[in-house]
Amino acid sequence: PSLRISYLLAARAAGPAMVSDVAVQSILNNTADAVEEMIEGLVLLNPSLKRLGSHNVVVRASLDRSKVALVSGGGSGHEPSHAGWVGEGMLSAAVCGAVFASPSTAAVLAAILHVTGPAGCLVVVKNYTGDRLNFGLACEHAKALGLSVELVVVGDDCALPHRGLGIAGRRGLAGALLVHKVAGAAAAAGGSLEKVAAEARSTAASLGTVGVALKTCHPFGTLVEERIAAGSMEVGLGIHGEPGASLARLAPADAIVDEMLRMIVSTEEGCSYLALPRGERVALLVNNLGAATPIEMCVVARRAITALRSVHGVCVSRVYSGAFMTSLDMSGVSLSLLRLDDERIARLDAPAAPLAWPASATPAADAAPLPPPELPSGAQTRHVPPADATTPPILSSEQQAATLRAVRAAAEAVCALEPLLTEWDQKVGDGDCGATLQAGGRAVLADCASYALSHPAAAVAGLCYSVSRGMGGTSGVLYAIFLSSVRAELANASLAAAPTSAQMAAAFC
């Protein structure tokens, strides 16, 4: 309760949620038919999948009922979960409810009856009330019909302290996917129902997940609402758009990741779910909650891997990054950690047919770059060009100092103008002009102390070098061409003293 109160107080301080009178736009025919049409599209894209009658249930087209079947599911809106994990080595069937709503007991029972043979069926669900009730009741009906069925509930959330969980327990989050993979591999290997269920429960008990979002999700057909104010983020939220455990100021990516990892591996009283001793082997799941860009995902993965290794002293044996369990268009990520042993690693590495499952999961030892190739003699692309040693200085010490001050002032002014330049370019172009010019300005500021200011042509060559290495885009190469031409004009002028204004005008025009 205290966490909930602190969240509400922080949200009130941040201001009211912004609700517009415009409905969320989507590329759908009818929101009521979205899940059914999504399933039809999915089976058309994948011949190894079939829909089960009129139910929103996706099953394997070919089943080996001599092995334990694996059923999961829940509300839609989390794609590729859950239908995207149906296939050899993972789920036998996925039951899809409406967006963020548990499927019906009848649909779950139909899935269990279809896939279950003599070996039995394991049903895996995330810890949400609707899922536990509907899947649990379907399991009891199936048992009454004489089928061997086990139910495993996954709760991997590490955001709430034990005292704040009440009778509901920990929420099920993206870590449930790793339970699907381990259990699916155990079933594919011919394990008994008892063995597969035991591995699923052990995996669920070795999981921890925390999510962070900058913007909440927008269910189809609802009014656009932005609960999270600009400059803020929610920490420890679920996958249905429910508020997070706390509201915090937006921080740099490294700080966000560090806090998420701290929460997962916390040893604090009342908050300890996944204490990891140094040297422990783990699998890391970096999950896109819907609208995080690939750039953001790589930045998050970079920090998570390096921090786990250097700060927490654990071995990241496997890493998976992508959209595994989304929340529609939520702008955020979640991190999941799973303790590993040899058997669990073998289960994760076992073949899996679903296309959404990553092909490779072993991280690199480091991100050290390869050495660049050696360049031809005279190529001035790896260092600031020097002055001609055979030519005496053209500018005096005072003139060189004045030139350096002017170059620095100009570069600092360009950097300061980045927001305005970006705004202008967003109106008429692609919006990269401000950042590109700022990158050039920063390169000039970093290099200018090394410019050969005693010779005007060499000084301009230094500017050209900085612009060439610091700026991309069309403007970068145009400025480099322009400065290269200026350097050539000044060199051809055979200057014996500081260039006159007419000479400078001729060089720049």
Find, among 339, 389, 3, the residue nearest to 175 by Cα.
339
CA 75 to chain centre: 22
Strand partners, 281: 315
Cα 76 to Cα 183: distance, rounded to the nearest angstrom: 22
Hey, how many other C-beta atoms are within 10 angstroms of the C-beta on 127? Answer: 20
Interatomic CA distance for residues 147 and 144, integer angstroms: 7
Residue linked to tokens 């995330």: 126
163 contact partners, CB below 8 Å, separation of at least 6? 270
Place of tokens 């005008």: 505
Query: Which structure tokens are listed for 1?
Result: 């309760």
- What is the rounded CA–CA span in Å between residue 486 and residue 507? 5
CA angle 256, 260, 265 (to 5 degrees): 150
Partners of 125 in the β-ladder: 153
Judging by DSSP bridges, how do beta strands 69-76 and 18-23 pair with one another? unpaired
Q: With contact defined as beta carbons under 8 Å apart, do 318 and 283 qualify?
A: yes
Q: What are phi and psi of 24, to 5 degrees?
A: -60, 130
Q: Confirm whether 240 is a catalytic residue.
A: yes
Catalytic one among 114, 240, 312, 455? 240
The token pair that represents 315 in the structure block: 């071995």
Compute the distance between CA of residue 43 and CA of residue 446 in angstroms, rounded to an integer.
Answer: 56
Q: Is 378 in contact with 320 (CB distance < 8 Å)?
A: no
Q: How would you write 430-485 as a 3-class SS string?
A: CCCHHHHHHHHHHHHHHHHHHCCCCCHHHHHHHHHHHHHHHCCHHHHHHHHHHHHH
State the residue for tokens 């609707």: 130
Query: For every residue of 329-340, which 3-state class applies, written as one string?
Result: CEEEEEEEEEEC
CA angle centred on 326, ends 356 and 134, rounded to 5°:
95
Contact 471, 479 (CB under 8 A): yes
Q: Report which of 415, 450, 389 is spatially closest to residue 465, judged by C-alpha positions.
A: 450
Contact partners, residue 450, CB within 8 Å, separation at least 6: 384, 462
Spatial contact of 328 and 218, defined as CB atoms under 8 Å apart = yes
Q: How far is CA 142 from the centre of its chain?
A: 39
Q: Which tokens belong to 182?
A: 């381990």
Classified as helix, coil or strand, 240 is coil
| Residues catalogued as catalytic | 240
